[in-house]
Amino acid sequence: MIKVQREDFSIEEEIKKVKAKSRRIGGIVTFLGTVRDFSRGKEVKKLVFEHYPGMAEKKLVELREKALEKFDVIEVSIIHRFGEIGIGENIVLIIVGAEHRKDAFEACKFCIDELKKIVPIWKKEITTEGEIWIEEHP
């Protein structure tokens, strides 16, 4: 369950999809990334995300499969938006369902950390002082 999309997503609806995968799921961990209004000492007006169509989806599928293999989890869902995204809006959602919370937490952290390293999605900050492409991935 991966998506790269322009439109926003419903966190509640996406959690329902993960829960529906198995009645064995006893713990669900989510990571929600949103646009903040201040970064690197500058006021941010909005973000712009670009991606490599086809390759971004391929890398997300690989990431999801790796998380399912590496951790004792039942389901992993990853959604990342592209295009212009305003302050306070959702950017990325990762949902991990497992029998136990520990596995879900570990897999969720792994997914966001790896996503920032390997998935060809790029972020530009539009600030009051101009535009800047963000190269490092904290």
Coil, helix or strand at residue 133: strand
Lowest average pLDDT, out of 17-26, 76-85, 128-137, goes to 128-137
- Averaged over 113-138, what is the pLDDT? 89
Instruction: Answer yes or no: are the C-beta atoms of 4 and 51 closer than 8 Å.
Output: yes
12-57: pLDDT as tens digits:
999 999 999 999 999 999 999 999 999 888 899 999 999 999 999 9
Higher pLDDT, 40 or 87: 87
Identify the domain containing residue 55 by its residue range: 2-134
Give the model's pLDDT for residue 80.
98
Report helix angle 101-118 to 55-70, nearest 10.
150
Residue 53: which CATH number? 3.90.1170.40
Give the model's pLDDT for residue 135.
78
pLDDT value at 59 more than 90? yes
Burial of residue 7 (CB within 10 Å: 0-12, 13-18, 19+) is exposed
pTM for this predicted structure: 0.94
- Averaged over 84-99, what is the pLDDT? 98
Instruction: Please count the structural domains in the chain.
Output: 1
pLDDT value at 74 more than 80? yes
